[in-house]
């Protein structure tokens, strides 16, 4: 692997460890030319199967592109979107599957998006969950309210638990 700093064509692994959820290997590398260190992550490949049957490599950029429209005019920055896409990827990878339907990616976006911005969440959910009546919106809003009223829920997602 090329050194990201000086483009030296080789690097040396100085440390290797498995990520907490076991879905990736993290390697610390050192460049023998400039001596700087960098980290690489090794994942199994994750394919998204689209409705057309075509499969493509999972991409955080596509996740972000999918929710950007729902976030229009909302106080959601690029950093927020990047972080959300990372959460979505981690959530999907923690299932340990090699393939996932595009619809399931959409569903995996809902929860982190709800934590990010409730209006964007409602917009996105209305498309993804096919809201077709006021009642659908009302029940989604009611569940957001119930959650808010139940105080600061200590949602620490720990799939191992």
Chain residues that interact with Zn ion, rule: CB under 5 A: 3, 5-6, 8, 31, 33-34
Q: Please, which residue, 1 or 65, has the CB nearer to Zn ion?
A: 1
Distance CA 126, CA 30 (A): 48
The C-alpha atoms of residue 59 and residue 56 are separated, in whole angstroms, by 9
Cα Rg of the chain, angstroms: 19
Please, which residue, 3 or 64, has the CB nearer to Zn ion? 3
In the complex, the smallest distance separating the C-beta of residue 37 from Zn ion, rounded to whole angstroms, is 9
Q: How far is the CB of 29 from Zn ion (least distance, A)?
A: 10
HEC readout, 40-90: EEEECCCEEECCCCCEEECCHHHHHHHHHHHHCCCCCCHHHHHHHHHHHHH
CB of 17 to Zn ion, least distance (A): 22
């Amino acid at each position: 692997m090329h050194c990201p700093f000086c483009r030296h064509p080789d690097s040396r692994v100085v440390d290797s460890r498995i990520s907490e959820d076991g879905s990736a290997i993290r390697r610390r590398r050192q460049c023998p030319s400039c001596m700087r260190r960098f980290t690489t992550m090794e994942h199994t490949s994750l394919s998204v199967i689209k409705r057309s049957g075509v499969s493509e490599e999972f991409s955080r950029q596509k996740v972000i592109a999918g929710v950007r429209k729902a976030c229009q005019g909302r106080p959601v920055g690029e950093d927020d979107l990047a972080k959300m896409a990372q959460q979505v990827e981690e959530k999907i990878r923690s299932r340990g599957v090699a393939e996932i339907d595009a619809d399931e990616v959409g569903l995996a976006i809902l929860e982190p998006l709800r934590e990010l911005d409730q209006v964007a969440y409602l917009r996105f959910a209305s498309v993804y969950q096919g809201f077709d009546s006021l009642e659908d919106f009302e029940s989604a809003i009611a569940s957001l309210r119930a959650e808010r009223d139940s105080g600061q829920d200590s949602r620490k997602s720990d799939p191992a638990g």
